[in-house]
Amino acid sequence: MALIFDTTLNAEEFKNIVSGHEKQSTVENTQISDFTLPVEKIEGVVFKHTKWTNIDASKKLFENVRFEDCELTNLNFRDVTLINVTFNKCKLKNVVMNKSKLRNISFIDSHLISTDPNIDNNYLELDVDKIMFINTELDNIGFYKSKGAFIFDNAKLNDVSGQSLKSGSALYFNSVNAFDIDFSRSNLSALEVKSSVIKNSKANGCTIGKLLLEDSELDFPISGGNSFDTVIAKNTGNVVIAGTPTKKVQISGCPKDTRIIMVGGDTFESIEIKDCNADDIVFFESIGKYISIENADIYKLDFRLSKIDHLKLNNINIKTELYYDSSVIKKLEATNISFGDGLEHTRESSNIEINADK
């Protein structure tokens, strides 16, 4: 059934209601269409059950404004300033907010969607302090070259791009279901993924301060980055951060269906893997100070062409393949090691030998 609105506002009526002598704190059951906003600032207004269509609000200021149960379609929000603005139970379709300044913005129980084939990134180059997407769905949304903290909580993301987020940005995913998202080449103080399922996605070539993966399912690499300070993965399989200089890595509690753990690449300070089951654990061509693998039941362990100051292996069962050709290990601790029947074991040009305990 089509929505019925009590009032349709023209530009002059809109001006009177939001800032003139007829100013109202709540505007509801109203249709707002086909004009340029005639005021520079909208402050302290609640828009409830309103429908906005073909409105030009570029370079305007919205402060302490709330949209409740609204539809916003084909809006030009380029270069706007939004301060303390909430969208609750709203649908935003083909809203373009490029190069806007956002302070304390929330989308709650809402849906953001772009269907315009002529617009690749409808939220690009945002200047954000914090923006929250709570129980909100995003389809074909682009945050290219934006800056800020993006918080997704109980959200659903499909075809969302945040490539090249600028220094000072952060990404937080909690209880998120995401498909085909891309935050590659971003400079992040933090990337946190908790209790989420993220598939067919990318986060390559990033600089990340703290990377936390917890109780999640991933099928994409966070690899080929510039540098990571700290990587912590708990109860999350398929951790691939290879090819990135990394200071500290801690991986624990990998699920039994984990296919691969791949870390290292350039240089690292420490890698600690504990209580994990995986098909492959690989850190070949690595240079680092300390590697510890404890309580692991794996098929392949591969650290060929590596230089490691201290390698500690404890309570490890290696079933099919063990490779450390051309590796130089200054100190080796290997205890409670067992091999599978018919293990393929190569160590050519290495200064150490790992043997199963008798």
Task: Using the CB atoms, write b or e for 108-140: b if 16+ within 10 Å.
Answer: bebbbbbeeeeeebbbbbbebeebbbbebbbeb
Q: What is the pLDDT of residue 261?
A: 78
Question: What tokens appear for 321 in the block?
Answer: 């393949």
How do residues 126-138 score in pLDDT, each as one tens digit? Answer: 999 999 999 999 9
pLDDT confidence of residue 315: 96
> Where does the pLDDT of residue 3 fall: very low under 50, low under 70, confident under 90, or very high at 90 and above?
very low
- Which domains, ranges and CATH numbers included, belong to the chain? 1-203 (2.160.20), 205-358 (no CATH)
| pLDDT tens sequence across 48-66 | 999 999 999 999 999 999 9
**Least reliable range by pLDDT among 34-38, 232-236, 265-269:** 265-269
Residue 139 has pLDDT above 50, yes or no: yes
Of the candidates 196, 161, 151, 207, the residue with the CA atom closest to the CA atom of residue 181: 161
Three-class HEC string of 286-354: CEEEEEEEEEEEEEEEECCCCEEEEEEEEEEEEEEEEECCCCEEEEEEEEEEEECCCCEEECCCCCCCC
At residue 262 the predicted structure's pLDDT band, cuts being 50, 70 and 90, is confident
Backbone region of residue 196 per phi and psi (left: phi > 0; alpha: psi in -120 to 50; beta: other values)? beta
In terms of phi and psi (left: phi > 0; alpha: psi -120 to 50; beta: otherwise), the region of 159 is left
pLDDT at residue 265 in the model = 65
Euclidean distance between CA atoms 153 and 162, whole angstroms: 17
- pTM for this structure? 0.91
Given the structure tokens 């039941």, which residue do they identify? 297
Mean pLDDT of the 135-142 span: 96
